[in-house]
Structure 1
Amino acid sequence: MVSKVNDLDYFVAASEQEALILELNLIKRHHPRYNVRLKDDKTFPYLKIDLNEDWPRVHITRRLEEDGGRYFGPFASAKSVRQTLKLIKGIFPFRSCSKPITGTDTRACLDYDIGHCLAPCIGAVSQKEYAEVIKRVILFLEGKQERVVQQLKSKMNRAAEALDFERAVRLRDQIQAVEQVVEGQRIATTVKGEQDVIAFAGDKDQACVQVFFIRSGKLIGRESFLLQGTR
């Protein structure tokens, strides 16, 4: 393959994510003979927040577009992006439906009954309050969970002072859910900043490699690789 190289060019990417997206797009554009892994139409999954909508949704997509939306990813697999969506849906009450929102529906769906949606469809929430929920979702996905907790505690205290105890309880439950996620991410480390920790285990001609991604003292994710033919 090296003998067939005619010229060499390179790009400097600002991050691993940017490099991955660039590689994906170049392979799909030029269809290189020896790189078949990313040639098909299947791309990496992302979480997208449609900020151009009056009542933004959070959903999974495999298409990156310059449409004013916020994209988070790419995720290593469809399973990991579904798990992340399920996690934030269990914490933040944003809508998951794609129906037009008029605020005049006569009844809300089950998500509203179980506290997983604020039901803009029946006019149960203002657009401003719903937008605040989406902002907290963005902060959460950016890894700024502590700021989310601070905002929720402030709102909970104001709700309690106004004797709106039902709202205060809902906010308390959100705080506890976010704090559980943060606690699950904490690790013991004296090194500040960013770290990628690699663990390796081998047996005969195969090996397993685990890469742990640590940011601001929190474990934010990991990836596994099974290697064959190793010694």
Structure 2
Amino acid sequence: MNLKEKIKKLPSSPGVYLMKDSLNSVIYVGKSKKLKSRVKSYFQNSKSHSSKIVKLVKNLKDFEYILTDTEFEALMLECKLIKEIKPIYNKLMKNPKSYSYIKVKINEKYPDIELASESSKDDDNIYLGPYTNKNTVERALQGIKECCKILCNNTSQKAYGCLNYSLGLCIGMCLDKTPSQQYSSIFDKILNLLNGTDKSILEEMEYTMNTASENFDFENAAKYRDYISAVKYLLSNMKVVDFIKENKNIALLEYLDDDNFKFFLIKGNELLFSEKYTIKNFSSKQLKSILKTKILFYFNDEILKDSIEIGKEKLDESQIIYNYLKNKSISSYCKHIIILDNWLSDMNNMDIDNALNKLLFNLTNLV
């Protein structure tokens, strides 16, 4: 069967596709809410195709696909397959080594922040992250230090200042003349920015950008625009990690159609359970009892009760879960509840009952 005939027989449902070359090696893994239209788009002459897609199509000799019930499952499966297979044309999620952390070195006279490829529990430093884009993190740290005038490039503390000191980008740590109280105040602002409680540094960056633009200094304005974008990336990434750590037990219900729904149980960034249910086969009371039993079984597992660690190998899954739950466009047919740990220890489990009532509310008229 040639590729065109194979594409015609593709279903218009969610799933993952695996593109293969002449050696039958998987060279690209993708996902789509509508498989047929997505795969078909590769073979349509389009000026909008990137150079990567053009090269991919030239090497494409066959493809396979795996159907899923929901787009969420397609996203998670795509992520898993990319990490397992490491296709040559997938770059976004295939290499955890490209991820990075921010190391906060606090046990120094002048505490500092720097890029780190790994986090460690064996030193006295604080680690933030992980982050998927090393270059963006590097740019954000550069912008923060420049804005706060602690971009020192000579820590040997000689009698003369570093080059950045002469440029006004360093307040003089290299001369060992910066008052510790002044530096501590600056560094506290930086830490508060990184944990999202104080965005005054970001506001200073925006003021510098706007002032530069008004003075027709477009080069400096563009530089600070990039700094601002990079810092906002750090803050956005922090929301993902914090949400996953705080909301460890997630029950997700997604409607497939008027008669069926899929139920998921998620622990941090791990999908523990998924099952499809046909509404007409159960009363609302029966459904609630079934879902409650699954919740108590999976979330009460002693092995899984430890705190969630968001390592770089699992950051992609965390982002998929966070973005899917926060996506307003799917909120009409996809709902979730957070199951708190103290609910699980309550013998009556009334809180779980009330949460499930809300989750199943829209099924009332269907069962």
What TM-score do you get using the length of structure 2 for normalisation? Answer: 0.30
Name the one with the larger helix percent.
2
**TM-score, structure 1 as length reference:** 0.45
Larger radius of gyration: 2
**Higher RCO (CA < 8 A, seq sep 6+):** 2
